[in-house]
Structure 1
Amino acid sequence: MTSCIRKILSDKKKLVCTVSLLIWGVFSIALLSATYLSHLASLKERGNLARSQVEEMLANAQAGINKALRLELDDCNKSLYELRNIVAVTPDIRTISLVRNGYMYCNSIIGKLSPERKIGNYQERLYVRHNSALDHSPVMILTQKISKLQWVRVGISEYYLLRALQRINGDGAVVIKVGNTSYNEFGIIKSKLDKYEFYKKSVIYPFSIYLDNKFTIDNKTITYLLVLAFISFGLALLAMRFLTGLNWAKFEVENAIINNKIKPYVQPIVDDNGDIVGGEILARWIKDNGEIVPPNVFIPTIEQYDLMVPMTLSLLNQVIEYQSLYHYKRLHLSFNVTEACLNDPKIKQVCRILSRYCDVVLELTENQQLVQTDTAQTMMASMRKFGVKFALDDYGTGYSTLDYLRKIKFDYLKIDKSFVDHITSDDVSNAIIDNIIALADRLNIRIIAEGIEQPEQVEILKSRGVIYFQGYLYGKPMLLDEFATKLV
């Protein structure tokens, strides 16, 4: 993943454009979502308000009916004055009519009808008449039955309904549906309500609210989107400076350590009989695609950014968790460490645990000069108490070999491969190896010969008293699973 990011970062123009689009896209989606949710909430609020407005008008109409019920309704002449008075003092209503057996016989405006006029839909609780008898304009009628053959009807002028809708609406998005008739603030809607969605039904009167959920981007939102585009470009420039300033190599290696992608491999160490007595733990980075990264690629990064301690801790813990390694014999397992590792209390604690199962050997290379020798000696002495031993790796290749041996007590010296390679043909290499063996013998330090690839090398070293060998002749570095099978 990080390699892909680094590839993108190499093209700064592409990076700025990509990040700008990403930032603008995220903010734009957030803005449009917020705008739509606000639009939807506003629409529902207007729908609720429209319902309450119509219910209030119908409640006034019902109040008019209730007042009319107290009158002597069989006789139009006796009740006409009071009916007109009710219309005059009751908000929103236009007329009160009396119907008997399907015929209107009294109306608050016309008075007594003679002959009586036949009325349709007179039994419906609420309906809209598109062509009123008075002025041929639409009127909404609320009806209540007062006896087996008698009804009171209150007419609400379309004007009152439209005025109420106009106060809460402005774009035709809220619709009142009564029976088969639908209203918005512009009047009766003659087309089907295909673009409208049912929202809510009144629980008091037989009408419903429909909403037009169509969402359009207004000029203000477009302005905001343009402003966001400029802001996104600026943020992209800042992001580019931040991303290009990140140390991706360090991040990638740290991530590999944390997720145990750097695995412990073991190269066997054998005795003079060819039996495996242990092994050196070597780090190999296995990527998600199965690629094995050799140590010469990532170890310099680990050393540069002081990541040896966390990597060593990770390797130690992975080796501890592999318990099947300790079922056959007590092994010698060595780990490459630095001075920082020696001084780390966590590594000390993990070495204490691992020493219960095997002989732990910590290898220092003489190329890594100890800065605080006294502190290192103290830590090494405390770790020796629970069985940890120490080896000097790559012996003879550094500039302070003898001084190292004078200051630090080691249990093993490892003869470097550069000397072993020429032991069969080079007198100088032979002389150096003889001196190393003689010095180790005097200091009571055991020798391990590294880089063994030919049987002739083994025979020569055996003849000089070397009893531990490591190299491709006995096995290349391998996973713990494969190493465990060789112990059976």
Structure 2
Amino acid sequence: MLMMRYIKQRKMVEIRLFVMRKNNKNVMLIVFTLFFVFIYGVLISINYSFYKREIIDKEVNDLQTLISHSEQLLNKVGFNVLDKKHKDKNYLHKILAREANVNINSIAIIYSGKYIYSTLVGDEDRAFITPVNLGLNAKEKSNLSGRPVISFVAEVGNKTLLQVFFKKHDLTMVNKLGRAFYQIGDVKIGHNNKLIKLVNDDKVYVAKCDKYGFSLVIEYDRKTAFINFVKDSVFLLSFIFFLLFFIFFMLIKYNNVDYYVLKKALSKNEICPFIQPIVDQNKNVIGGEVLARWIKKNGEIISPLSFIPRLEKYSLIPSLTVNLLTQVFNSDLVKKSNDLILSFNLTEKCLHDEKVQQQCIKLSSRCQLILEFTESSEFENVQLTLETMQKLRAYGIQFALDDYGTGYSSLQYLNLYDFDSLKIDKSFVDTIESSELTLHIIESIVLLATKLNIKLIAEGVENIEQKETLQRLGVHKYQGFLFYKPESLDSFSMRI
């Protein structure tokens, strides 16, 4: 009855722990997902801002560069025009031919308020229909074409002006953000020099160039702009997405910092083997159970109850087992005698791990190695487990069933796996003085072990009365605080 009650309580604890781990995992997944979405959104927003800024700045800089180049060109041309007293008109055509790759359509000479020559129509003698100003000009209707035009005027001598007319301006790129146009004075000129009339002032974005007195105005369309941004940035957005997804995946899988802290602790041997001695009925130390203790550089000792579940979470238990086996193998302890009994706790996953098997085989050459399994859950691969146990038995390795009587199915385990030793769980030892039922259970265990020729070890012996009762019942090997607490390899080595 007591055993059944204990098993039921233990199962309830395991269920609660499972639910807690599951809930924590779900919470962590939600947190990381929200974090992923937030970061991706922030990066998209930043890139979107750069995208808009880059398009606008490029457009403004392109026109500014064109105007600056035209200004320098007109000042250079002006001296020759004056020297030739406006007679060598072919000179302007030569200049224009050299500037074919620049967005210049034509050059005109203005003298005493009249156009006297244009590279488009040749000699002419007409006064301004509308006056021109020095610097950048825009007209809704050109005198020649009747279409909107942008030009730049520079004074090159007394009463002499040169005017350069620009070709139709291409605003294809900036139109990706909405309807774009240049505002020069009161004139609004858009893509291909189309005149812009109605503008929704509530949605405009303005980039000004104070040096030449023009503004790039965008009637911003959020939907159009974002769609074009996605089209133009699909590779970058995909790269950012997969990079963030990879980081997100690693964070979910390893919880990042905690995982690498544990990995570092293993690599630095901060998690080291402690041994709790096992004694016979005369209190002679005959061996010990190897346990893990995490001792940080500052001397802080972290409880196994804290770090073992974390190692399990990140599938690092096999690494821990290999590490402990290796540290014991390299210690002076196992160089003293091959008769020393050392037991290690193993999980099914550890048993099937090649590195664990290799290290167990190595250590078995220096001591009597016992591998302990708990019966808290059924082995998933019975056949593979039996084959692995048989393989390791060939090297003299023995197997023990830990926490006997508290787990999955004690008799089924004994029937399947042919254990060499049984360890009576502390829960029975704790109640051995107060429960007649416990006495009967232990008597049954002793009888069964005797029939099957299985050695018995009692765990958690804490007082002399427990030891004497166990000895009277036929249990002659003990482990517990009555005799020794877990101790370092060096301390244990001094007892041998």
TM-score between both structures, scaled by the size of structure 2: 0.49
- State the shift of 1:440 in Å: 1.1
Name the CA distance, whole Å, in 2 between partners of 1:251 and 1:429: 45
* Corresponding residue number in structure 1 for 2:308: 299
User: Does residue 270 of structure 1 match 2:285?
Assistant: no
- Equivalent residues in 2 for 1:17-28, closer than 5 Å: none
Letter paired with 1:439: L
User: Residues 465 and 242 from structure 1, CA distance in 2 versus in 1: closer, same or farther, beyond 3 angstroms?
Assistant: closer
Pairing partner for 1:446 from 451, 455, 462: 455
* Corresponding residue number in structure 1 for 2:66: none
Matched position secondary structure for 1:473 = coil
- Equivalent residues in 2 for 1:345-356, closer than 5 Å: 345-356=354-365
Listed one character per residue, the Cα deviations across residues 345-364 of structure 1 (whole Å, up to 9, x for unaligned) are: 22222122211211000000
Matched position secondary structure for 2:373 = strand
* Corresponding residue number in structure 2 for 1:247: 255
User: Residues 305 and 329 from structure 1, CA distance in 2 versus in 1: closer, same or farther, beyond 3 angstroms?
Assistant: same
- State the shift of 1:259 in Å: 2.2
- Equivalent residues in 2 for 1:51-130, closer than 5 Å: none
User: Residues 432 and 399 from structure 1, CA distance in 2 versus in 1: closer, same or farther, beyond 3 angstroms?
Assistant: same
Name the CA distance, whole Å, in 1 between partners of 2:472 and 2:267: 46
Matched position secondary structure for 1:377 = helix
* Corresponding residue number in structure 2 for 1:425: 434
* Corresponding residue number in structure 2 for 1:390: 399
Matched position secondary structure for 1:449 = strand
- State the shift of 1:442 in Å: 1.3
User: Does residue 407 of structure 1 match 2:416?
Assistant: yes
- Equivalent residues in 2 for 1:324-403, closer than 5 Å: 324-327=333-336, 330-403=339-412
| Number of aligned positions between the proteins | 270
- State the shift of 1:244 in Å: 6.1
**Structure 1 residues 328-337 or 441-450, which shifts more?**
328-337
Pairing partner for 1:282 from 281, 286, 291: 291
- State the shift of 1:252 in Å: 2.1
Name the CA distance, whole Å, in 2 between partners of 1:384 and 1:414: 19
User: Does residue 313 of structure 1 match 2:322?
Assistant: yes
Q: Is the 1:325–1:480 contact (alpha carbons within 8 Å) kept by the matching residues of 2? A: no
Letter paired with 2:453: N
Listed one character per residue, the Cα deviations across residues 257-307 of structure 1 (whole Å, up to 9, x for unaligned) are: 222221000000011111000000001111222111111111112222222
Name the CA distance, whole Å, in 2 between partners of 1:464 and 1:473: 18
Q: Is the 1:278–1:331 contact (alpha carbons within 8 Å) kept by the matching residues of 2? A: yes
User: Does residue 434 of structure 1 match 2:440?
Assistant: no
Listed one character per residue, the Cα deviations across residues 114-151 of structure 1 (whole Å, up to 9, x for unaligned) are: xxxxxxxxxxxxxxxxxxxxxxxxxxxxxxxxxxxxxx
Name the CA distance, whole Å, in 2 between partners of 1:451 and 1:242: 42
User: Residues 262 and 273 from structure 1, CA distance in 2 versus in 1: closer, same or farther, beyond 3 angstroms?
Assistant: same
Name the CA distance, whole Å, in 2 between partners of 1:354 and 1:341: 15
Name the CA distance, whole Å, in 1 between partners of 2:404 and 2:475: 15
User: Residues 252 and 407 from structure 1, CA distance in 2 versus in 1: closer, same or farther, beyond 3 angstroms?
Assistant: same
Listed one character per residue, the Cα deviations across residues 326-369 of structure 1 (whole Å, up to 9, x for unaligned) are: 31562100000011222122222212221121100000000132
- State the shift of 1:241 in Å: 6.3
- State the shift of 1:243 in Å: 8.6
Letter paired with 1:247: N
Q: Is the 2:420–2:454 contact (alpha carbons within 8 Å) kept by the matching residues of 1? A: yes
Letter paired with 1:296: L
- State the shift of 1:473 in Å: 1.1
Listed one character per residue, the Cα deviations across residues 343-397 of structure 1 (whole Å, up to 9, x for unaligned) are: 1222222122211211000000001321111111111111111110000000011
Q: Is the 2:338–2:366 contact (alpha carbons within 8 Å) kept by the matching residues of 1? A: no
- State the shift of 1:436 in Å: 1.1
Percent of aligned pairs with the same amino acid: 45
- Equivalent residues in 2 for 1:160-239, closer than 5 Å: none
Q: Is the 1:338–1:368 contact (alpha carbons within 8 Å) kept by the matching residues of 2? A: no
- State the shift of 1:324 in Å: 3.8
Name the CA distance, whole Å, in 1 between partners of 2:292 and 2:349: 18
Listed one character per residue, the Cα deviations across residues 3-37 of structure 1 (whole Å, up to 9, x for unaligned) are: xxxxxx99x9xxx9xxx9xxxxxxxxxxxxxxxxx
Name the CA distance, whole Å, in 1 between partners of 2:312 and 2:277: 25
- State the shift of 1:323 in Å: 2.4
Q: Is the 2:273–2:327 contact (alpha carbons within 8 Å) kept by the matching residues of 1? A: yes
Matched position secondary structure for 1:251 = helix
Matched position secondary structure for 1:399 = coil
* Corresponding residue number in structure 2 for 1:4: none
Name the CA distance, whole Å, in 2 between partners of 1:333 and 1:441: 22
Matched position secondary structure for 1:386 = coil
Name the CA distance, whole Å, in 2 between partners of 1:344 and 1:307: 12
* Corresponding residue number in structure 2 for 1:224: none
Letter paired with 2:283: G
Letter paired with 2:255: N
Matched position secondary structure for 2:379 = coil
Q: Is the 1:413–1:446 contact (alpha carbons within 8 Å) kept by the matching residues of 2? A: yes
Structure 2 unaligned spans of 5+:
1-30, 44-239
User: Does residue 468 of structure 1 match 2:484?
Assistant: no
Listed one character per residue, the Cα deviations across residues 22-80 of structure 1 (whole Å, up to 9, x for unaligned) are: xxxxxxxxxxxxxxxxxxxxxxxxxxxxxxxxxxxxxxxxxxxxxxxxxxxxxxxxxxx
Letter paired with 1:339: E
Name the CA distance, whole Å, in 1 between partners of 2:439 and 2:249: 56
User: Residues 358 and 244 from structure 1, CA distance in 2 versus in 1: closer, same or farther, beyond 3 angstroms?
Assistant: closer
User: Residues 397 and 242 from structure 1, CA distance in 2 versus in 1: closer, same or farther, beyond 3 angstroms?
Assistant: closer
Name the CA distance, whole Å, in 1 between partners of 2:367 and 2:476: 19
Q: Is the 1:359–1:388 contact (alpha carbons within 8 Å) kept by the matching residues of 2? A: yes
Matched position secondary structure for 1:466 = coil
Q: Is the 2:333–2:489 contact (alpha carbons within 8 Å) kept by the matching residues of 1? A: no
- State the shift of 1:402 in Å: 1.2
* Corresponding residue number in structure 2 for 1:154: none
Matched position secondary structure for 1:376 = helix
